[in-house]
Structure 1
Amino acid sequence: MTSAPDRPANQLVHETSPYLLQHAHNPVDWHPWGAPALARAETEDKPIFLSIGYAACHWCHVMEHESFENEDVAAFLNQHFVCIKVDREERPDLDDIYMKATQVLSGQGGWPMSVFLTPQRLPFYAGTYFPPTQRHGMPGFMQVLSSLAGLWERQREQLVEQAGKVAAQVRQLSLQSEHLPALGPSVTRPGLELVDAAVAQLANLFDARWGGFGGAPKFPHADDIRLCTWQHAATGDPQALHMARHTLQCMLRGGIFDQLGGGFARYSVDGEWTIPHFEKMLYDNALLVPALLETAAFGDEGGELADAARRTCEWVLAEMVDPAGGLWSTLDADSEGHEGRFYVWQRDEVLQLVGKQHAALVDDYWELGKPENFEGIAWNLRRPGPDAEVAERLGLSVDELSSTVLELRAKLLAARAGRVRPGTDDKVLTAWNGLMISALARAGVALDEPRFTAAARDAARFCLETLRGDDGRLLSTYRAGRARLPAHLADHAYLAAGLLDLFEATGEVSWADAALALVDDVRAHFADAERAGFFFTADDAEELLARPRDLTDGALPSSNGVMAEVLVRLGETTGRADLIDEVDRLFAMLQPILAGSPSAFARLLLALSRAQGAAPTVVLGAGAGLVELQRVLRDAARPGLSVLRVPAEGVANDVAARWPILAGKRSEGAQATAWVCRHGTCQAPITDAGVLEAALAS
């Protein structure tokens, strides 16, 4: 939904974010966050109305239509407030800080986020979506505005006092250095009992019927799934593997997975994964691909986990690639003003497209024979179970069912392509691209699909070359030819992790060099010199209410957790003890916090598992028999296994100096050769697939 272009433009018209541009012709006098708007609030002594959302947010569109396009509401806002609009995907630092304030003030959070600040940016009132008039126990937006404007005039001192107290709570929740445990003279890395405790907590939350952790609304929690898979790999725990596999199977058979076009929606509004909130986010799909691939390695009946990973990557290549090489951010939930309209079907419409002779198949395979599952008027396609069970009911072989479904899916996709598409947020975010570079690089190897690797290479090149400031520092967002905004920790950490996966997929050392350079920037500008770990914003970034630090996982993984993984991987390959020491300091500092609620720290615990040597690093030299050795590595079912590829003749001296683990690795004769390495020590060269298999299992 976009505001009427025939209205005069406000200050958002100069922005690049599609979300901000959607509001550029609202009658509200919107400003982007920045010095001019903040200075105006202080000069005019007006409170700030801060509205934070994102382009694919359904309720953001609703509030725009109901309130921000309303001339009377806009006039009141413009008279009494300085109005600032923020795209949370461009400014996750602001989103984090003011989400904490919203939760303190209202007890809940979400988007659109509606926060009222003093001119000094301190929050004194907050909520999420407000209807235009009072309903369902929620105050009307005009009622809120009128009340707050009056309080600002009559009881400003009380509001400012409250804002100061909220700000103090936000600083504490943001884990400023003084709120974290101090490190003692000796640093000891915690043990894997933290992982045991986290998986036990997840087991208590596990939905045995439908998979997932907790009830509706149900989110994918990809890193929780991965942690369960890693736990099975380390301990043989069958329940951990069941939780991971069953959750993924229920999701990919459910309506949260696009049964026609591939890719996952953001979350399910019900506990059965049937009806999603239809927006598709690049990051959700990037995180789920590794979860699918890692779990599939421990058994994938019918190949459906690997197939879902492949179809998710195919969706990215088909719909999310910018012509310049980067990857776009989201697909909207809405089209033609209705959520889900692009994706749902009428049964008669489906039969008209595929032929009534296929009625029994579509009624069973996509559950069109059951009552309408979307608002009682349409069907969102989902599957009842494994293909083998459906084929048996229909009297078909699995191959016959698969070939027929492929044909019918193509017909429905072609018809769906003629519908009005949901909007695309076509900005390129460095952080999210880093996550998808990882996913595509890993899928390219696991699924033997060079197109995925090539797309990862293109996105990586785009981020490293285009998302740079004049000073050479990384930037966080790009659209319409403009790269802008200083990068955060997540941008650096996610991209560095993606580059290391691309290095493993291609053997091109330049990607590893670029990852190491990003880590050097992080250590120079984001490190907490008083304690350990990293802040979310750089030391020379804009000074905000707090300097946020993300440790727990949310919709996105903890950037400290991803950074810890990157440091462990680089420590192993460079032999640099200072990188491992930095990780150990982080773990030692956080041990009391991790022990309190370990399941909230899945990505940090994945890094801990990697640091404890759950899987080796294998250097793989080219030569005859390479395919057999690669097959062993693909089938090894060892999450976290790193494979570093080198030419048969070995690497150049300068490369060996930077990456000591590669030094002296030359293939034996003309044979492909593998070296299995743990904690910087490599075993004797291996040329036989069976010997390699045994070495990995030991």
Structure 2
Amino acid sequence: MPNRLAHETSPYLLQHADNPVDWWPWSPEAFAEARRRGVPVLLSVGYSSCHWCHVMAHESFEDASVADYLNEHFVSVKVDREERPDIDAVYMEAVQAATGQGGWPMTVFLTPDAEPFYFGTYFPPAPRHGMPGFGQVLEGVRAAWSDRRDEVGQVARRIVRDLSERALAVDTSTPPGPEELHAALLGLTREFDAVRGGFGGAPKFPPSMTLEFLLRHHVRTGSEAALQMAEATCEAMARGGIYDQLGGGFARYSVDASWTVPHFEKMLYDNALLCRAYAHLWRATGSALARRVALETADFMVRELRTGEGGFASALDADSDDGTGRHVEGAYYVWTPRQLREVLGEEDAALAAAYFGVTREGTFEEGASVLQLPDTELLVDASKIASVKERLLAARERRARPGRDDKIVAAWNGLAIAALAETGAYFDRPDLIQAATDAADLLVRTHMDWHARLSRTSLDGTVGGHAGVLEDYADVAEGFLALAAVAGEGVWVDFAGLLLDAVLVHFTDVSGALFDTADDAEILIRRPQDPTDSATPSGWTAAAGALLSYAAYTGSTAHREAAEKALGVVRTLGPKAPRFISWGLAVAEALLDGPREVAVVGPVDHPVTRQLHHTALLSTAPGLAVALGEPGSEEVPLLKDRPLLEGRPAAYVCRRFTCDAPTADPKALAQRLGG
């Protein structure tokens, strides 16, 4: 019989709806029940494409004896971290402070007042590799709660007090300058893996936001070191197993330092950020590899993540059926020599094995290999490889597909809108711009209310019940502004302004510091506030970028000053931990460059207007704001009082309240914007 999760919209929660565990969603009613019964709360946090979340579910939460014990001695609460990043952030901070590490599934035991007192992540069903078995943990927590409840309460209250005293002290008086950005570059240079690309060791995550900073820093300063790190990392990832060599798109991370074996889940946010980074690398260098990867990744998102409502699903699972009834990580993506021969025949299988690095021993598990492009010197006929890839992809389509988490997350769709709009503009792909527009329409129609407040998620066109957090407002605004630049539709600037006004009113304190949740959001044991970037830009740095761009379009002093104050944290953290505030560094590059503003005026179907507009979009100037409009248009303030040039379409370039003379020459415009 289904439990309470059967009434939820989260695919992750629905995966647990048939567990024998009597799960509750996070709610006041769950904690009231724990208080009534006098029992602790088990909080389990995960997400739908989390491999170890599935493992723990199969091992423990589907086990009747474990469920019976939980149901008797605990109130069990299940949370989708992608729906409730605020809950995840607050308790993950406690887990990391107590254990020195974190991860998912996150397992936390709480008092009925939601105060944490015991922490962990994945627990095996029996003791293993130094970890206690889950049953042992449950028995130990129950015994402590029963026999030493006062002591447990004291511990919980002390933890909450310690967390509340870890308030972030930020100097918002001064944004970073050239010295701090240069120091950040030096820090990245020390962490750079010159042999295999990327930063740090295993596991190795795609450094999307670091790539953006490096490219912008190269443009502003001419630093060849910055460009070389970006190029080497992009090539290594594109040639490695983390990139899907048949279908495009990136896996979540590489378990090794050489990008060979990925953790196979595919996340919308990774692919949106990397699509945009590769498109920007092409814009800066003309790299054919960057062009191919940007387009293939965009096509992957549209083909495999687009939903019927026009938005983009959150993720594809790492696991799938391997054809024998086993649910195995990577089964959809890996190949053995025998499988190549079955699809391609002996001759083409030998070519494919050499081209994609498929070996008899395998690079993954049980003799299977992850497809790579390991040999830069291998010369093959392009049409032959295209045929091989087409046949392998068709054969792969007949395998059991990984599950898809269909929920629409506002922030991640904002990232996808920006990536698809720009990639479509650069490479003359109006279908990608249309996909971005459809997703933006969905967010306005479904996720925004009449007061410009955002809901974080929706599923099948039905909005979820969870309020948007700072990253939702910031990333959606970023996506709308990118779409406005490409489509020349000022309404997207207006929508971005509504969201950013909400940021100023509900997420910003008097000092200019930002919180992850609104001032009227559900009260947790503390109000989360984290400026550091992780898999995505933090809400803090994303807001800084969107505020700065919006100020460029509108001339709003309030929004620019808010962006400058938000960047104060980058001045502090950038030189110390550049990898963890890279988007803030990228935004700081835009601030130092102006950012530059381009107003293109002329009949939108005139070839010179289109050429001027395209030239502006291809500029590498950091954070460039581009507005397109008919003569006399005031739809975007940047277009106001911009007449034609002797009856011809014209472009106006402005920077720090000073404008150059207008030009009708695309080449002259390119020179003014740095190429």
Q: TM-score, normalised by structure 1?
A: 0.92
AA matched with 1:259? Q
AA matched with 1:509? G
Q: What CA deviation, in whole Å up to 9, does each residue of 1:525-552 have, x standing for no partner?
A: 11113x2132111111110011111200
Contact kept, 8 Å, 1:280 with 1:330, in 2: the verdict is: yes
Correspondences of 1:172-571 after superposition (within 5 Å): 172-173=165-166, 175=167, 179-181=168-170, 187-301=173-287, 303-336=288-321, 337-369=327-359, 371-386=361-376, 389-391=377-379, 394=380, 401-469=381-449, 473-484=453-464, 485-529=466-510, 531-571=511-551
Report how far residue 671 of structure 1 moved. 3.3
AA matched with 1:561? T
Structure-1 separation of matches of 2:389 and 2:29: 52
Report how far residue 321 of structure 1 moved. 1.0
Q: Which moved more, 1:141-150 or 1:594-603?
A: 594-603
DSSP-derived class of the 2:463 partner: strand
Contact kept, 8 Å, 2:570 with 2:581, in 1: the verdict is: no
Structure-1 separation of matches of 2:625 and 2:291: 20
Report how far residue 614 of structure 1 moved. 5.6
AA matched with 1:640? G
Report how far residue 670 of structure 1 moved. 5.2
Report how far residue 596 of structure 1 moved. 4.0
Report how far residue 628 of structure 1 moved. 4.3
Contact kept, 8 Å, 2:593 with 2:622, in 1: the verdict is: no
- 2:664 aligned residue (669, 672, 687): 687
Report how far residue 643 of structure 1 moved. 2.1
Report how far residue 615 of structure 1 moved. 5.0
| Unaligned segments of structure 1, at least 5 residues | 1-7, 395-400
Correspondences of 1:669-680 after superposition (within 5 Å): 669=646, 671-680=648-657
Query: Which residue number in structure 2 is paired with residue 41 of structure 1?
Result: 34
Contact kept, 8 Å, 1:253 with 1:382, in 2: the verdict is: yes
Structure-1 separation of matches of 2:450 and 2:18: 32
Contact kept, 8 Å, 2:360 with 2:367, in 1: the verdict is: no
DSSP-derived class of the 1:262 partner: coil
Report how far residue 667 of structure 1 moved. 3.1
Contact kept, 8 Å, 1:217 with 1:267, in 2: the verdict is: yes
Change (3 A) 1:535 1:634: closer
Change (3 A) 1:256 1:33: same
Contact kept, 8 Å, 2:593 with 2:621, in 1: the verdict is: no
Report the number of matched residues: 666
Contact kept, 8 Å, 1:624 with 1:672, in 2: the verdict is: no
Query: Which residue number in structure 1 is paired with residue 324 of structure 2?
Result: none
Query: Which residue number in structure 2 is paired with residue 397 of structure 1?
Result: none
Structure-1 separation of matches of 2:24 and 2:81: 15
Contact kept, 8 Å, 2:552 with 2:625, in 1: the verdict is: no
Contact kept, 8 Å, 2:335 with 2:358, in 1: the verdict is: no
Structure-2 separation of matches of 1:447 and 1:505: 12
Report how far residue 607 of structure 1 moved. 1.5
- 1:651 aligned residue (633, 649, 663): 633
Query: Which residue number in structure 2 is paired with residue 613 of structure 1?
Result: 593
Report how far residue 635 of structure 1 moved. 4.9
Change (3 A) 1:240 1:172: farther
Query: Which residue number in structure 2 is paired with residue 126 of structure 1?
Result: 119
Contact kept, 8 Å, 2:617 with 2:626, in 1: the verdict is: no
Contact kept, 8 Å, 1:486 with 1:541, in 2: the verdict is: yes
Report how far residue 591 of structure 1 moved. 3.5
Contact kept, 8 Å, 2:187 with 2:576, in 1: the verdict is: no
Q: What CA deviation, in whole Å up to 9, does each residue of 1:468-511 have, x standing for no partner?
A: 35766211111134202111111111000000000001000111
DSSP-derived class of the 2:559 partner: helix
AA matched with 2:189? A
Report how far residue 645 of structure 1 moved. 1.4
AA matched with 2:608? G
Change (3 A) 1:89 1:142: same
Query: Which residue number in structure 2 is paired with residue 5 of structure 1?
Result: none
Pair 1:93-2:86 in alignment:
yes
Structure-2 separation of matches of 1:554 and 1:189: 21
AA matched with 2:552? E
Contact kept, 8 Å, 2:590 with 2:622, in 1: the verdict is: no
Contact kept, 8 Å, 2:421 with 2:486, in 1: the verdict is: yes
Q: What CA deviation, in whole Å up to 9, does each residue of 1:631-671 have, x standing for no partner?
A: 54455433433322112x2314xx2xxx3321122332553
Q: TM-score, normalised by structure 2?
A: 0.95
DSSP-derived class of the 1:415 partner: helix
Contact kept, 8 Å, 1:468 with 1:483, in 2: the verdict is: no
Report how far residue 182 of structure 1 moved. 6.1
